[in-house]
Chains A and B, each alone.
Chain A
Amino acid sequence: MVNRLKNGIVIDHVVSGKGIHIITLLAEKTAGHRVILLQHAESRKMGTKDLIKLEDVKLEDTDLQFISLFAPNATVNFIENEEVVRKHSVKAPEMVSGLIRCPNARCITNDPGEAEFLVSRLKRVKTGYICDYCEQVWTTKTYPDGWSANKVGV
């Protein structure tokens, strides 16, 4: 599987060092499956990059949205019988709603008392994402390490 994946998904061109976030976010989907993370691999386009292989895993649109947050230029390759049957270029969505909490601890969306009434919203801007409520900016490089743990519902 390290060299060739029979069936599954290869996520390529992930921002160097951020692949671990994607693995954490997809933990439920990948439970019991083989997962390979290659960190800081050489890349002509990016200098260095991360690459992820997931064996026998299927991804849905919301999963691709998560991926886009940490890998705005990633390519997701769907593999069947060692052949790439579909290539999906991740596009960062304009709005990420209800999927991930704002990492700003002082944001209203992180008030435990309001969780029941409030859906988090991140809006895309030129440099990354801003929370639609507190307007704090987050870029792929400045996502805090604990961020992936903020997935709503986890």
Chain B
Amino acid sequence: MFEKTKEVKEGRYGQLDKTVALLFFEPSTRTYGSFDSAAKRMGCKVIGIQDPDTASLKKGESTYDTVRMFVGYGADALVIRHPRAGAPKYVAEAFDVPVINGGDDGHEHPTQAMLDLFTIWEKFGGFEGLKVGIMGDLRYGRTASSLAYGLAKWGVRMRFIAPDLLQIHWRNDRLEEQLREMGADFEKTDQVKLDDLDVLYVTRIQKERFVDETEYKKVKGSFHLGQNSLKGVKNKMIILHPLPRVDELSPDIDRMDHAWYFRQAENGLYVRMALLELILGD
């Protein structure tokens, strides 16, 4: 997957002449845009729905009927973004067409994890010996959990940095239990200690999750990174963020060599192109 993405990024890719249906039952700027662009660059026709508000869904059509229609229109692969967890799995079981999960509620966002992993691989040439800090909203965020599963598979050491309220042990899925079953090497802390990290993955802290405004302000203060917060970090350390950011990463970091989040976002295009080629290519 990573080798394929690298080839694609270097401009080495063929044309697929297939039809890809982008079925976004929930709006998304970045994921839709990059899948749309990826499919078109690979020579695919793109059909589907971008805005559920203007689609037949507004009239109450079921997910099943909507998907069935686009399968009937000749879709060779489906990209499903859905506000209900488990919807892509359901569609994959119901139809004999490859399905890519483009994000399902708070459950998973696997292509985001793939581009996160590719960006780390691109920087370090592998995963051996790396230590990755994952910081922010680890309780409700889906990108952090998808990434953690990926990193655990490569035996990467992880540090989950979050206030207790947003730590992984509060998640409603089995992330922590599964990481333990996988023998993953990880620690949990509410201290922002960055000096031994190779990668810092930052996610947005969601204000709406806090009942107590004072608690939010306290957390927001300690989880806001500016240039000053990065004193003493490793020279080669990179900062990633699934974007959009709010105020957890100060724009003054953008100029630093550590800032890799825009490059990471761009990699989303190449990873999705590679994925389409792997699924639809000969």
Contact = CB atoms under 8 A, between A and B. Distances in A.
Contacts of B107: 134-135
A108 to B, nearest CB: 4
Query: Contact residue range for chain B?
Result: 20 to 34
B84 A111 contact: yes
Contact of A111 (B63, B89, B177): B63
A118 interface: yes
Interface string A104-140: 1011111101101110000001110011111111000
B62 A108 contact: no
Interface string A75-113: 000000000000000000000000000001011111101
B85 A136 contact: yes
A106 B83 contact: yes
Contacts of A106: 83-85, 105-106
A137 B174 contact: yes
Contacts, number: 73
Interface in B52-91: 60-64, 82-87, 89-90
Interface in B22-74: 60-64
B173 interface: yes
Contacts of A137: 172-174
B94 interface: yes
A118 B90 contact: yes
A114 B94 CA distance: 11
B86 A134 contact: yes
Contacts of B89: 108, 132-133
Nearest to B181: A126
Q: Is the interface of B mostly helix, strand, loop or mixed?
A: loop
Query: Contact residue range for chain A?
Result: 20 to 34
A125 B106 CA distance: 20
Contacts of B61: 113
A114 B85 contact: no
A104 B177 contact: no
B60 to A, nearest CB: 7
B170 to A, nearest CB: 12
B173 A113 contact: no
A133 B86 contact: yes
Contact of B63 (A104, A114, A125, A136): A114
B177 A114 contact: no
B85 A108 contact: yes
A117 B173 contact: no
Contact of B84 (A107, A117, A127): A107
Contacts of B90: 108-109, 114, 118, 133
B87 A108 contact: yes
B64 A114 contact: yes
Interface of A: 104, 106-111, 113-114, 116-118, 125-127, 130-137
7 contacts: A107-B84, A108-B84, A109-B90, A114-B90, A130-B173, A136-B173, A137-B173
Interface of B: 60-64, 82-87, 89-90, 94, 104-107, 172-174, 177
